Structure 1
Amino acid sequence: MLRIDNLVKTFDGERRRRHARGSKTDKTEPARVFAVSDISFNVENGELFTLLGPSGCGKTTTLRSIAGLERPDSGTIEVGDRVLFSGGAGRKPVNVPANERGLGMVFQSYAIWPHMSVFDNVAFPLQVKSRNERLGKKQIAERVMRVLDTMELAELADRQATKLSGGQQQRLALARALVIEPPLLLLDEPLSNLDAKLRESLRYELKRLQRDLGITSVYVTHDQTEALVLSTSIAVMKSGDVMQLGRPREIYENPNCRFVAEFIGTSNFIAGNVVSKEGDRYTVNTADGLLVLDAAAAIPIGGDVIVSIRPEAVEVSTGSRAGEVPNEWTGTVTTRAFLGESVDHVVSVGRHEIRARGNPAVSIKPGTEVYLRLDPGKLALVPVD
């Protein structure tokens, strides 16, 4: 459906001084900053593909390049069998204007027209199509009401757009993007302006709509939870590069670098080196003892690694099961925090402080000596950068 090949986009950065050869004066020239640095990925039909990363990582620039709102320096962008952009050495120049790409886009700020009713907001994209593509009034009305019904806004069709709640305005913006029946839907942090409870409910509503309608979508967010809930596939970005691309569970459980492990959820990190390997079973020597874990990695014996341990992979108890299970360490609870659906314990183990997350019924007071058990199947090996 969507194919991105070797996409590059740069912007002018701070100006730097350069001494021109044969001249007694300095010249200044802008330094080029890579917003998107030679990235490639494919989005299959019906997928919700998420670009995830911190501010300034290039995710919105990538989305705007797909939409035609930014002109890349080089690379190709294809939707279906149609080339929307092509540029750079050896490529035939193509740059389809944004208004001719036929893509739907939902912005962070909703961008609804305040002087129009709900119905007119959704009908407008159909009414301004070229004469040979424009539908009749009856067909427009039928399509608009069908989309409004899907968004549960049909009863509000005559209401002024500004008199809707934040969640209703976001659904209106989505309805306006869907009414043109685009081959690809682009969403730029569409839930970030909503309060936490509404944002959570709309995540599941958006996931249901995307699944039921089979809409191929590219979604931009910096919210890790949002990405894990919504996505079919995720590309984690940093400084214009895609650091890891995969399914949500794969990225969460098997991060390929420390940045991904830190950015997706919460992790404990313990440095060590590989002392033995049998198939996928590794033994890692750390400052506080050996750790045994299973990892589909290619790290040689003697290689330096970081063991990434999610808090929910740590079991805390006041009783020992030494000899029955691997990876049992002893430590002392330094602090605890009740989170409602869980309790976090921070346990001091030698040189490390390890966070454990578990059942809220288990709450151990600070100062208590405890035993930590680390499930080998839930630990991840991260190469040292």
Structure 2
Amino acid sequence: MLRIDNLVKTFDGERRRRRALSSGAEERVFAVNDIGFKVEEGELFTLLGPSGCGKTTTLRSIAGLESPDSGTIEVGDRVFFSGAAGRKTVNVPANERGLGMVFQSYAIWPHMSVFDNVAFPLQVKKRRERPGKREIAERVMRVLETMELGSYADRQATKLSGGQQQRLALARALVMEPPLLLLDEPLSNLDAKLRESLRYELKRLQRELGITSVYVTHDQTEALVLSTSIAVMRSGKVVQLGRPREIYENPNCKFVAEFIGTSNFIAGNVVAKDGERYSVGTEDGQLLVDSAADLPVGADVIVSIRPEAVEVSTSSRAGAVPNEWTGTVLTRAFLGEAVDHVVKVGTHEIRARGNPSVSIEQGTSIYLRLDPSKLALVPVG
């Protein structure tokens, strides 16, 4: 559906001269640096990363709001952009791409009613492409009903709540029946409870309507909840691409493991390998880890341990289970749906997250059990 190859984008203000080079060559700072990915029809594909990683620039390049330096952008059988450095062979204007876009700000027209806001994109189409008044009315009401805004059609747009205004912005994009919907952090201006509610509403709508979508966010939870696939970005590059569960459970580098959720990190090196089971030596003992990574004996690694993968107990099962370590509870925190324990194990402090019914006092000696299948092996570097 969407295909991007070798996309590069720099900005004139971000080219700096390397003083250290006698040649005076320019060092280019890339907003997007040679990225590529495919989005299949019906997918919700998320670009996830910290501020300044290039995710919004990528989205704006797809929309036609930014002109890349080089690369290709194709939607279906149409080429929207194609060119090499300094030479653009194709660059379709944004208003001719026919894509829907929802911005971080609602960008609704305050002087119009809800109905008129949604109808406007159809009314300003070229005469030969513009639907008749009856068809416009039918399409507008159909999408308003889908967004549960049908009863507000005659209301001024500014008299809607924040969540309703965001759904209105989405309705305005959907009424165009675009081949691709682009969403730039559309929920970031909402309060936490409403944001969580609209995540599931947006996911339901996307699945039911089968809309192919590209979604930009820096919110890891939002990406995990909504996405079919995720591209994690850093410094203008895609560092990992995969399904949400795959990225969460098997990060390919420390940056991804840190950025997606919370992890404990234990440095070590591979001392033995048997198929996909690795034996990793650490300062505080040996760990067995199941991993599909292809790493040689002697390799420096980091074992990434999610807090929910750590089991705590006041009794030992030594010999019956692998990876049992002893430690002392430093502190605990009640989170409502879970309890966090921070446990001192040798030189490490390990966070464990478990059932709220299990709460162990500070200073108690306990046992930690780490299931090898729930640990991730991350290569150093």
Smaller-chain TM-score bracket: over 0.9
| Aligned equivalents of 2:44, 2:173: Cα separation in 1 | 15
| Aligned equivalents of 1:378, 1:48: Cα separation in 2 | 27
Match of 2:247 in 1: 251
Within 5 Å, give how 1:311-350 maps onto structure 2.
Answer: 311-350=307-346
| Aligned equivalents of 1:30, 1:201: Cα separation in 2 | 48
CA deviation map 1:224-266 (0-9, x unaligned) = 0000000000000000000000000000000000000000000
SS of residue matched to 2:126: coil
* Contact 2:307-2:353 at 8 Å conserved across structures: yes
| Aligned equivalents of 1:90, 1:147: Cα separation in 2 | 42
Q: How far off is 1:49 after superposition?
A: 0.1
SS of residue matched to 2:293: coil
SS of residue matched to 1:301: coil
One-letter amino acid of the structure 2 residue matched with residue 381 of structure 1: L
Q: Which piece of structure 1 moves more, 348-357 or 88-97?
A: 88-97
CA deviation map 1:266-317 (0-9, x unaligned) = 0000000001111101110000000001100100001110000000000011
Q: 1:306 aligns with which of 293, 302, 309?
A: 302
CA deviation map 1:81-127 (0-9, x unaligned) = 10000010698610000000000000000101011000000000000
CA deviation map 1:130-151 (0-9, x unaligned) = 0100000000000000000000
CA deviation map 1:351-376 (0-9, x unaligned) = 00000000000000110000000011
SS of residue matched to 1:171: helix
Match of 2:10 in 1: 10
| Aligned equivalents of 1:90, 1:198: Cα separation in 2 | 46
- Pair 1:230-2:231 in alignment: no
Match of 1:275 in 2: 271
One-letter amino acid of the structure 2 residue matched with residue 220 of structure 1: V
* Contact 2:220-2:259 at 8 Å conserved across structures: yes
- Pair 1:147-2:147 in alignment: no
SS of residue matched to 1:93: strand
Match of 1:205 in 2: 201
* Contact 2:47-2:230 at 8 Å conserved across structures: yes
SS of residue matched to 2:350: strand
SS of residue matched to 2:222: helix
Match of 2:81 in 1: 85
One-letter amino acid of the structure 2 residue matched with residue 34 of structure 1: F
SS of residue matched to 1:320: coil
SS of residue matched to 2:230: strand
- Pair 1:218-2:214 in alignment: yes
CA distance 1:101–1:339, shift in 2 (3 Å): same
CA distance 1:290–1:20, shift in 2 (3 Å): closer
Match of 2:69 in 1: 73
- Pair 1:362-2:358 in alignment: yes
| Aligned equivalents of 1:90, 1:151: Cα separation in 2 | 44
Percent identity over the alignment?
84
| Aligned equivalents of 2:257, 2:215: Cα separation in 1 | 21
| Aligned equivalents of 2:15, 2:350: Cα separation in 1 | 42
| Aligned equivalents of 1:376, 1:44: Cα separation in 2 | 34
Q: How far off is 1:14 after superposition?
A: 6.6
CA deviation map 1:162-182 (0-9, x unaligned) = 000000000000000000000
* Contact 1:297-1:381 at 8 Å conserved across structures: yes
* Contact 1:13-1:30 at 8 Å conserved across structures: no
CA deviation map 1:22-57 (0-9, x unaligned) = 9xxxx9x98532000000000000000000000000
Match of 2:282 in 1: 286
Match of 1:371 in 2: 367
Runs of 4+ in 1 over 6 A off after TM superposition: 19-22
SS of residue matched to 2:171: helix
One-letter amino acid of the structure 1 residue matched with residue 68 of structure 2: P
Q: 2:99 aligns with which of 100, 103, 118?
A: 103
SS of residue matched to 1:326: coil
* Contact 1:283-1:291 at 8 Å conserved across structures: yes
Q: 1:242 aligns with which of 225, 233, 238?
A: 238
* Contact 2:18-2:27 at 8 Å conserved across structures: no
CA distance 1:209–1:20, shift in 2 (3 Å): closer
CA deviation map 1:59-99 (0-9, x unaligned) = 00000000000000000000001000001069861000000
SS of residue matched to 1:361: coil
Within 5 Å, give how 1:185-196 maps onto structure 2.
Answer: 185-196=181-192
- TM-score, normalised relative to structure 1: 0.96
Alpha-carbon RMSD: 1.7
